[in-house]
Structure 1
Amino acid sequence: MPAEIKGIAPRKWQMDAVYQVRSQAQAGSDRALIYACPGSGKTYGGLMVAHDLVHTVGLGPKIVVVTPNEAIRTQWIDRAASIGLNLRHLRSGYDLRQEELALSELGFIVSYQKAVTEIRESLRDYCERNRPVVIFDEVHHAAGPSKKKDGNAWGHSIEYAFSTAAFKLCTTGTPFREGDNPISFVSYNGAQEAIALVRYSYQQAIEDGVCRPIEFTMFDGEMSWSAAGQSFTASFGDPLNKKRSGQRLLAAIAVDGEFPQTMLTKANERLMELRSGAGVDARAAGLVVAHDTDHAEAIAMELQAITGEPATVVHSKIDDAQKQIEAFREGNSPWIVGVAMLSEGVDIPRLRVGVYASNITAPLYFHQYCGRFSRVMKSRHERSYVFMPADPELEAIALQIERERCHALGEEYRPHLRTVGNGKGRCRREIEVLNSNGDVKGVTVSGKMLPITFIEAHRDQIRSFRQKGAQYATWTDAEVVGVMIDCGAIAMPEEAA
Structure 2
Amino acid sequence: MSQLRAWQEDALREYSLWTPREGNGFLVEATPGAGKTRLAIEVACRALASGRVQRIVIAVPTARLEGQWAEEFGKQGVSINPGWQAADGRLASDEQGCAATYAEIAKQPQIYRKLISEKPTLVILDEIHHCGGDDRAWGAGVRTAFQPATAKLLLSGTPFRSDNDEIPFVNYVDGVGAPDFRYGYDRALADGVVRAVFFPRRGGLMEWTAPNGDSRRATFEDQLNDREAAHRLRTALSPTGDWLPSVLKEADAQLSELRTVDPQAGGIVFCEDSFTAREVVKLLTALGQSPVLAITDEPDADERIKTFKSSTAAWIVTIRKVSEGVDIPRLRVGVYATPWITELFFRQVVGRLVRIRPGEDDPTAYLYIPDDARLREMAAQIKQQRDHILDQQEAELLGESEANAGPSGEQPLFSLFSPISATPTDEGVIVDSDTITPVELANAEQIKRMDPTTVAMPTALVAKLLRNAGTTAPTAPAPSFETTEAPFERKEKLKKSNNTAAQRIARALDIPHSKVNGHLNKLVGVSVSRGVRQCSEEQLERRLRYAQQWLATGTAPGKEAE
TM-score (norm 1): 0.83
**3-state DSSP class of the match of 2:80?**
strand
Write the mapping of 1:97-496 to structure 2, written as runs, cut at 5 A.
Answer: 97-98=89-90, 100-103=91-94, 105-117=95-107, 119-144=108-133, 152-190=136-174, 192-231=175-214, 232-277=216-261, 281-306=262-287, 308-377=288-357, 378-379=359-360, 381-401=362-382, 431-445=417-431, 447-456=433-442, 459-465=445-451, 467=452, 469=453, 472-486=454-468
Distance across 2 between alignment mates of 1:458 and 1:249: 30
- The answer to which of 77-86 and 380-389 deviates more is 77-86
One of 8, 11, 18 as aligned partner of 2:5: 11
Q: For each residue in 1:394-419, what CA deviation from the matched residue of structure 2 results, as whole angstroms up to 9, or x when unmatched? A: 22111101679xxxxxxxxxxxxxxx
Summarize the Cα distance change of 1:487–1:235 in structure 2 as closer, same or farther, 3 Å threshold.
closer
- The answer to which of 22-31 and 250-259 deviates more is 22-31
Kept in 2, the 8 Å contact 1:221–1:437? The answer is yes
The structure 1 segments of at least 4 consecutive aligned residues displaced by more than 6 Å after TM superposition are none
Summarize the Cα distance change of 1:429–1:266 in structure 2 as closer, same or farther, 3 Å threshold.
farther
Task: Report the Cα offset of residue 473 of structure 1.
Answer: 3.7
Q: CA RMSD in A?
A: 2.5
One of 65, 68, 73 as aligned partner of 1:72: 65
Task: Report the Cα offset of residue 433 of structure 1.
Answer: 1.0
Kept in 1, the 8 Å contact 2:443–2:472? The answer is no
Aligned to 1:408: none
Summarize the Cα distance change of 1:459–1:159 in structure 2 as closer, same or farther, 3 Å threshold.
closer
- For 2:278, give the aligned amino acid: E
Aligned to 2:45: 51
Task: Report the Cα offset of residue 46 of structure 1.
Answer: 1.4
Task: Report the Cα offset of residue 91 of structure 1.
Answer: 3.8
Task: Report the Cα offset of residue 259 of structure 1.
Answer: 1.4
**3-state DSSP class of the match of 2:158?**
coil
Distance across 2 between alignment mates of 1:25 and 1:473: 52
Kept in 2, the 8 Å contact 1:216–1:387? The answer is yes
Summarize the Cα distance change of 1:126–1:457 in structure 2 as closer, same or farther, 3 Å threshold.
closer
Kept in 1, the 8 Å contact 2:23–2:147? The answer is no
Unaligned runs of 5+ in 2: 386-409, 476-562
TM-score (norm 2): 0.74
Distance across 1 between alignment mates of 2:372 and 2:44: 41
Distance across 1 between alignment mates of 2:474 and 2:82: 56
Summarize the Cα distance change of 1:112–1:271 in structure 2 as closer, same or farther, 3 Å threshold.
same
Aligned to 2:394: none
Kept in 2, the 8 Å contact 1:225–1:251? The answer is yes
Q: For each residue in 1:304-362, what CA deviation from the matched residue of structure 2 results, as whole angstroms up to 9, or x when unmatched? A: 112x1320011112121121111111101000011111001100010100001111111
Aligned to 1:62: 55
Aligned to 1:22: 16
- For 1:209, give the aligned amino acid: G
Summarize the Cα distance change of 1:131–1:245 in structure 2 as closer, same or farther, 3 Å threshold.
farther
Distance across 1 between alignment mates of 2:289 and 2:169: 47
Task: Report the Cα offset of residue 488 of structure 1.
Answer: 6.2
Aligned to 2:74: 81
- For 1:337, give the aligned amino acid: V
Task: Report the Cα offset of residue 70 of structure 1.
Answer: 2.6
- The answer to which of 77-86 and 9-18 deviates more is 77-86
Task: Report the Cα offset of residue 55 of structure 1.
Answer: 2.9
- How many residue pairs match? The answer is 446
Kept in 2, the 8 Å contact 1:175–1:363? The answer is no
- The answer to which of 317-326 and 228-237 deviates more is 228-237
Unaligned runs of 5+ in 1: 1-6, 147-151, 405-426
Task: Report the Cα offset of residue 484 of structure 1.
Answer: 4.2
Higher radius of gyration, 1 or 2: 2
Task: Report the Cα offset of residue 159 of structure 1.
Answer: 0.9
Summarize the Cα distance change of 1:233–1:59 in structure 2 as closer, same or farther, 3 Å threshold.
farther
Kept in 2, the 8 Å contact 1:286–1:335? The answer is yes
Distance across 1 between alignment mates of 2:21 and 2:459: 55
Task: Report the Cα offset of residue 123 of structure 1.
Answer: 1.1
Distance across 2 between alignment mates of 1:267 and 1:403: 26
Distance across 1 between alignment mates of 2:328 and 2:416: 34
Q: For each residue in 1:347-393, what CA deviation from the matched residue of structure 2 results, as whole angstroms up to 9, or x when unmatched? A: 00101000011111111111011001111223464111000111222
Aligned to 1:410: none
Aligned to 1:36: 30
- For 2:53, give the aligned amino acid: G
**3-state DSSP class of the match of 1:116?**
helix
Distance across 2 between alignment mates of 1:268 and 1:202: 26
Summarize the Cα distance change of 1:20–1:290 in structure 2 as closer, same or farther, 3 Å threshold.
same
Aligned-pair identity (%): 29
Kept in 1, the 8 Å contact 2:269–2:337? The answer is yes
Kept in 1, the 8 Å contact 2:444–2:460? The answer is no
Task: Report the Cα offset of residue 154 of structure 1.
Answer: 1.8
Kept in 2, the 8 Å contact 1:17–1:49? The answer is no
- The answer to which of 33-42 and 311-320 deviates more is 311-320
